[in-house]
Amino acid sequence: MHFTPHSESIIEEMLKTIGVLNFEELIRTVPSQVRCRENWDEPGLKESDVRKKYRNLAEENEPVTRIQSYLGGGVYEHFIPSVVNHLASRPEFVTSYTQYQPESNQGMLQGLFEYQTLLCRLTGMDVSNSSHYDGATSLAEAVLMALRNKPGKILYSKYLHPHYTEVLKTYLFNDRSCLFEVTPYEGTMTAEAFPKEEEISAVIVQSPNFLGIIEDMISLSEWAHARGAVLIAVVNPVSLGMLEAPGNLGADMVVGEGQPLGNSLSFGGPYFGFMCVKKEWMRKMPGRIVGQTADKAGRRGFVLTLQTREQHIRREKAVSNICSNEALCALRAAIYLAYLGETGFKNLSEECFEKAHLLQEKLSSIPGLVPVYNKPFFNEFAVRIKHKKIASVLSKLRRNQIAAGIRLNQFYHDHANDFLIAVTETKTAENLDYYYEIMKEVLA
Amino acid sequence: MKVPLSEQLLFEKAASGSGQFSAEHSLLNREKLVSRVPSFFLRKNEIGLPELSERDLVMHYTRLAGRMFSVDSHFYPLGSCTMKYNPKISEDVSSEEGFQYAHPFQNEDDVQGCLQMMHELEQRLNVICGMDAFTLQPSAGAHGELTALLIARKYFKDRKEERIKVVVPDSSHGTNPASASLCGFHVVTIPSLNGEVDMAALERECTSDLAVFMLTNPNTAGLFEKNIVSICEKVHSAGGLTYYDGANLNALMGIARPGDMGFDLLHVNLHKTMATPHGGGGPGSGPVGVKAHLVSYLPVPFVEKKKDDVYKWSYKRPGTIGMMKSFWGNFGVALKAAVYCDALGFSGLKQASLTAVLNANYLKKKLEDTFTVPFNELCMHEFVMTPHPEKSPAKTLDMAKRLLDFGIHAPTVYFPLTVKESMMIEPTETESKDTLDEFVSVMMQIADEARNQPEKLHDAPLTTYRQRLDEVRAARNPVLKYGDPVDPA
Amino acid sequence: MSSSVPEDLKYTQTHEWVRFNGSKAVVGITDHAQHELTDIVFVEPPKTGKIFEAGNVAAVVESVKVASDIYAPVSGTVTSVNTELEKNPGLINSDPYGKGWIFELETTDTGENLLDAASYGKLV
């Protein structure tokens, strides 16, 4: 395949207009000593062959739709309605770029303004940007914001998503000494374990945390504010259909992974990170922001605004280096939220919660399997296998078409026999029964 | 005053109770549910999500789509953004069930197809760029820059060298200095000379504290840096590393490789060069490539090909900077890039770059009499011009807005910063001669209007859904969500 | 277009003006500077009580597409800032030498190193 439109004769004509004889002369400003010496004659594939190649590759995978998957860990299998796919795949959105000329991009600008509004309502915050790369990087940017405001320790739980912790360490390469990992008490963060004498910049609380447990955000935010520190909440947006908005629990910044809102699993991306803040952080927040204004005729319209924060204007003094974001994924989330609506979204949230609890109760009744912690959770929980080898238990379940969960030993030494189970609305009552029956058999 | 339906925001739609997800009610028992969680954890107020029928939702977003300029519908010569046509086959491949529903935490056995694709794309990028290893983790170009600079930082730390300075030309993309300062480097900007790196200025900065020199080549003036080999040598002999900003790689595939020019690190914007769609601002993907001496610093994990064509995750990079994002990168974007590379083959990629250069030079030739071209020699895939004081006397901003009236997206304007009133034009290789000729005749008409009917330019655009928007008002009184107080102005 | 350069003020190369009044020095940006920056949309003033050396960045003035650092023309302590600019940053455009003042310093410097109106006028 190729996508260059000119015939030989048109190429001749254009070269002549330019005043060169051939392509060789056209690129004569490229010195010969750096010119490619490799053989570049590999032809492209026919369209049908490309399809075949990638269909075969896709067949090498066992997607979660063909098995029963209870994998979560920050990324969740939710049903994506056809209408969401169709609208978010419109080429007018897909093949446009950043809204540098707002008059010709009102569609996306309004879509992102609506996204910002939806996310503010969901999180209970004042201001949202129009997306970041993913949950982990938006947390890292929030921490940098907090540190610029006030140097000090950054407190986070051992049960902050391990990838987020890793990314935080990468971003804070210059001075990791500010990072302070808190040892949780029975799975949750409590102020008793916090350092007493140190200056504190921010407390990060992920709720539900990596093990699915709901954290007590109010008491953590009170503790943080009493020390002049900020509370950064990391949340699963789907939980907010049911759980209190972090903005009402004292959070100063709310970030997280937006994937659960209508974005497919796609082996880790593209997803989007969201970032919402209280008003006083508006001019310190990274990422593009859409604002409302009026056109010459006084009609409502939308533009990118507060751009002096950004790299294309302030260069090395910018609040962040971010340029490309994940606008299309954010638009998709807005469409998904608008489609489900108030009632639908709350139903979704409650169904995930309830089904997870049903499964947890069933599994806990099996001898040889216990919950790791008995704390309130949302749609994910950790269990421990006693007396049997966890690897062989999980592979037996897998042979019965169940991806039973994520082993925790890859993240924690003290969770060698534990794994994490996530349940969403995609699992039926029959699926849950089947999981229970198979597990009972395997552990018998 | 009631807002007309076609102009309403989601939140102004009156319908309610038409939420589109009903739970399996047999399982849901509200009382039981509430009893499982302390009540202070539960939401007390309405969220405030709109409720629309599916039909109304479709109408809402289809109308929004109608207010967009996009590559599929418009010529989009936005300089340095490479707004080339995005092949449809990539969309179809990426929506294969086997890819869309692969969970990032699945066992390696269950995702061999994903791992193989990632491995093969890395190999392909190595060949295109002349590098030794790639990571697909970075989500965008700027994220790639950050990745590479963190690698440089760690590299020098391991060598116990105190190097704190990153040097960029004044024509560089804003992300370059921003990434460097995010990384804790001290940024020094050097001037350009006739559109290229000023060798004497570079020489002065080649000191013992030089860490990295960052460069786009062809640079943002669209010129190939003719001294590129000695630029890299100078930086290397001072002990520094050279970084290639891949934003303009579309000029060079099969023509010259950054690795052969002497670059140690680089990023590639898959959403530019490899034709993955820009998505209204993203997602992108910014893989980073390095030479052998830096491989061990790349992010983890990476895909390793084992015996019998089995692919495994590996963490064996002792110097690694860590993870740049959760999971493994923007897989879906990388997949589209891999499809593009296979569809074109190396010969097609080379043809793409040559045609991109052809189209840019053709436009430049046609426009150079009526507009001012500050660096008038053969350009690569893009060029910079400004209004001519007599032949096209107008502000660049007004010209950009007037172009919209003709259904053409504006070029990148007021960048590079080194040229006042600059317009940076990148037609890309996918545009036909007819499209280019029409652009030329529109530009000629605008130049004519600039001379004879300047008010047409000041008032533009008139044919778009909205006329010129008041950015000052937006910035003075930020209204960032529905319901924020609007200044009556 | 020629911009106004009042005789009774002192100026810097970086387009700040200073009005001395005893030990007080009121600082703003010149008519030329406001014109170059176009419509001012936001001002980040210094904190009262903050101490600056001459040449330190003391404030930031922003238009839609430019963020411009404002340097302390003389050394001193910030005694007050123009809070009106919070609501109405456009005062810098409409009245750069009057209601558009940005901050006031307590200083012992008499501005001998600064430009007078004639030399600044030549600069712009």
Question: How does pLDDT run across B240-292, given as a tens digit for each residue?
Answer: 999 999 999 999 999 999 999 999 999 999 999 999 999 999 999 999 999 99
The overall average pLDDT reported for chain A is 96
pLDDT digits (tens, 9 = 90+) for B78-126: 999 999 999 999 999 999 999 999 999 999 999 999 999 999 999 999 9
Is the same domain home to A319 and A363?
A: no
- Identify the pLDDT of residue A294: 97
Same domain flag for B299 and B162: yes
Hey, are the CB atoms on B471 and C89 less than 8 Å from each other?
Answer: no
The verdict on C123 touching B (C-beta cutoff 8 Å) is no
Query: Looking at the predicted structure, is the pLDDT value of residue A298 above 60?
Result: yes
Give me the CATH number covering residue C75.
2.40.50.100
Burial (CB count within 10 angstroms: exposed 0-12, middle 13-18, buried 19+), residue A436: middle
pLDDT at A313: 86
Low pLDDT (below 50) residues in chain C: none
Per-residue pLDDT at A381 exceeds 70: yes
Using a CB-CB cut-off of 8 Å, the residues of chain A touching C67 are 308, 313-314, 317
Domain range holding B371?
A: 345-473
Q: Evaluate if residue B175 carries a pLDDT over 80.
A: yes
B480 falls within a domain: no
Specify if A7 maps to a domain.
no
Given a cut of 90, whether residue B2 has pLDDT beyond it is: no
Task: Name the residue in chain A with its Cα closest to that of C61.
Answer: A308
Q: ipTM strictly over 0.90?
A: yes
Q: What is the pLDDT of residue B33?
A: 76
Give the pLDDT mean for A258-279.
98
Contact A90/B61 with Cβ under 8 angstroms? Answer: yes
B475 to chain C: closest CA residue: C41
Domain end residue (candidates: A309, A337, A365): A337
Q: Is residue A49, in this structure, part of any structural domain at all?
A: no
Contacts of B74 in chain A (CB under 8 A): 104
What's residue B22's pLDDT? 60
Q: Distance (Å) from the C-alpha of residue C4 to the closest C-alpha of chain A?
A: 28
Number of domains chain C is built from = 1
Other beta carbons less than 10 A from residue B323's beta carbon: 23
Both B319 and B377 in a single domain? no
Position B274 scores a pLDDT of 98
Dist. CA B110–CA B400, nearest whole Å: 50
Please check whether residues A328 and A361 belong to one and the same domain. no
Does residue B452 sit within a domain?
yes
Best A38, A66, A92, A109 member to test B by mutation, with max B CBs in 10 Å, is A92
B360 contacts B379 by C-beta, under 8 angstroms:
yes
Own/partner pairs for B156-162, CB < 8 Å, 24+ apart? B156/B211, B158/B319, B161/B239, B162/B209
Q: What is the pLDDT of residue B26?
A: 56
DSSP letter string, B255-295: TB-HHHHT-SEEEE-TTTTT----TTT------EEE-GGGG
Q: For A54-76, how does the pLDDT look when each residue is reduced to its tens digit (9 = 90+)? A: 999 999 999 999 999 999 999 99
Question: Are A94 and B279 within 8 A, CB to CB?
Answer: yes
CA–CA separation, A20 and A294 (whole Å): 49
| Chains touching C (3+ CB pairs < 8 Å) | A, B
Using the 8-state DSSP alphabet, how is residue A392 labeled? H
Q: Which of A292, A313, A337 delimits the end of a domain?
A: A337
According to the model, what pLDDT value does residue B25 have?
56
In a domain, A185, yes or no: yes
Q: How far is B291 from chain C (nearest CA, A)?
A: 38
Q: Are residues A199 and A347 in the same domain?
A: no
Residues in B lying within 8 Å of C, measured between beta carbons: 414, 471-472, 475-476
Of A289, A304, A337, the domain-final residue:
A337
Q: What is the pLDDT of residue C124?
A: 87
Residue A35's nearest CA partner among B309, B288, B104, B353 is B353
Q: Which of B339, B174, B349 is nearest to B249 (CA)?
A: B349
Q: Give the CATH number of the domain where residue B400 resides.
A: 3.90.1150.10
pLDDT score, position B13: 84
Which helix (DSSP H) or strand (DSSP E) does residue A255 occupy? strand A253-257
Mean pLDDT of B182-191: 95
Looking at the complex, report in whole angstroms how far the Cα of residue B475 sits from the nearest Cα belonging to chain C.
6
- DSSP secondary structure letter of residue A279: G
Q: Which domain holds residue A220?
A: 82-337
What is the percent of chain B with per-residue pLDDT over 90, rounded to a whole number? 92
> Could you give the CA distance from residue A290 to residue A109 in angstroms, rounded to a whole number?
7
Residue B453 tokens read as: 């009917």
Counting other chains too, the contacts that B203-206 makes at CB distance below 8 Å and 24 or more residues apart are B203/B234, B205/B165, B205/B167, B206/B234, B206/B235, B206/B237, B206/B238, B206/B240
Instruction: Put the strands of the sheet holding A406-407 in their side by side order.
Output: A369-371, A380-385, A418-422, A406-407
**Residue B72 counted as domain residue:** no
Mean pLDDT within A128-137: 98
Looking at the structure, tell me whether residues B393 and B269 fall in a common domain.
no
For chain A, what is the domain count? Answer: 2
At B35 the pLDDT is 83
What pLDDT score does B486 carry? 93
pLDDT band for A103, please (50, 70, 90 cuts).
very high
Gyration radius of chain B over CA positions? 26
- Residues A376 and B268: their CA atoms lie apart, in Å, by 45
Distance, in Å, from the CA atom of B94 to the CA atom of B39, rounded to the nearest integer, reads 43
Question: Under a CB-based contact definition with an 8 Å cutoff, are residues A258 and A282 in contact?
Answer: no
Structure tokens at B167: 């040097």
Beta carbons of B53 and B21 less than 8 angstroms apart: no
A317 part of a folded domain = yes
In a domain, A6, yes or no: no
Residue C93, C-beta contacts closer than 8 angstroms, at least 6 positions apart: C34, C39, C40, C100
How far apart CA B104 and CA A199 sit, in angstroms, is 37
**Sole residue written with tokens 């492209």:** A44
Give the mean pLDDT of B202-218: 97
Q: What are phi and psi of A415, to 5 degrees?
A: -125, 45
Using an 8 Å CB-CB cutoff, list chain B residues near A424: none
| Tens-digit pLDDT profile for residues B301-350 | 999 999 999 999 999 999 999 999 999 999 999 999 999 999 999 999 99
Q: Do A342 and B321 touch (CB under 8 A)?
A: no
Helix (H) or strand (E) holding A232: strand A230-234
Q: Looking at the structure, do residues B110 and B246 belong to the same domain, yes or no?
A: yes
What is the domain extent for residue C25?
A: 10-111
B356 and B397 together in one domain: yes
Length of chain A: 444
C-beta neighbour count of B151 within 10 angstroms: 28
CB of A236 closer than 8 Å to CB of A208:
yes
Residue A50 inside a domain? The answer is no
| CATH code of the domain containing A408 | 3.90.1150.10
C41/B414 CB distance under 8 A? no
The CATH number of whichever domain residue B325 belongs to comes to 3.40.640.10
Number of domains in chain B: 3
Q: Please indicate whether, in this complex, the C-beta atoms of B139 and A134 are within 8 angstroms of each other.
A: yes
**Whether residue B290 sits in one domain with residue B230:** yes
Q: Residue B448: what pLDDT?
A: 98
The closest CB to that of B348, out of A2, A110, A136, belongs to A2
* A226 phi/psi in degrees, rounded to 5: -65, -20
Residues of chain B with Cβ-Cβ distance to A86 below 8 Å are 58
Which pLDDT score, from 0 to 100, does residue A331 have?
98
Mean pLDDT, residues B448-470 taken together: 97
Band (B1; pLDDT cuts 50, 70, 90)? low
Chain A residues in contact with B103 by the CB 8 A cut-off are 64, 69, 71, 75, 77, 265, 267, 403
Identify whether residues B213 and B326 lie together within a single domain.
yes
B350 and B308, same structural domain?
no
- Residue B60 vs residues B6, B53, B280: alpha-carbon distances, Å: 7, 11, 18
CA distances from B223 to A15, A127, B226, B385 (A): 18, 41, 8, 13
**Beta strand B288-290 pairing with B133-135:** antiparallel
Q: Are residues B409 and B460 in the same domain?
A: yes
Query: Nearest CA to B324 among B143, B54, B55, B165?
Result: B143
Is residue B489 one of the residues assigned to a domain? no
Q: What share of chain A is helix, strand, coil (3-state, %, to 5)?
A: 45, 15, 40
Region A280-306 average pLDDT: 97
| Other Cβ atoms within 10 Å of C44 Cβ, number | 16
A268 and A390 in a single domain? The answer is no
Contacts of C62 in chain B (CB under 8 A): 475
